């Protein structure tokens, strides 16, 4: 049985204007995760994802690399209790 969890990630570096949100949404949907990705005012990208803990770990691995045009400098990740409040994975503005 899958262990459900929630993951919040803030990605620092050159991560805006390089299709990072689309990259994240596509991987999250492929992994069957729910939540959202959005740009933050100071140039970071925030990801909140929920689902199977192992698949969340897979998403985290993708976020540490990012799309080809991105330069990921640091990744802050925190694990939380699953809430079940997201129906799909969305790109927010």
> Which residues are marked as active site?
21, 39
8 Å CB contact between 49 and 56: yes
Integer Cα distance of 49 and 55 in angstroms: 10
Cα radius of gyration rounded to whole Å, the chain = 12
8 Å CB contact between 89 and 29: yes
């Amino acid at each position: 049985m899958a262990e459900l969890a929630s993951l919040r990630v803030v990605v620092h570096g050159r991560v805006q204007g390089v299709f990072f949100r689309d990259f994240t949404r596509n991987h999250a949907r492929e992994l069957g995760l729910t939540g959202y990705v959005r740009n933050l005012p100071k140039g970071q990208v925030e990801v909140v994802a929920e689902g199977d803990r192992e698949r969340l770990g897979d998403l985290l691995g993708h976020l540490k690399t990012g799309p080809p045009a991105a330069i990921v400098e640091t990744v802050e990740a925190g694990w939380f209790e699953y809430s079940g409040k997201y129906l799909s994975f969305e790109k927010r503005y």
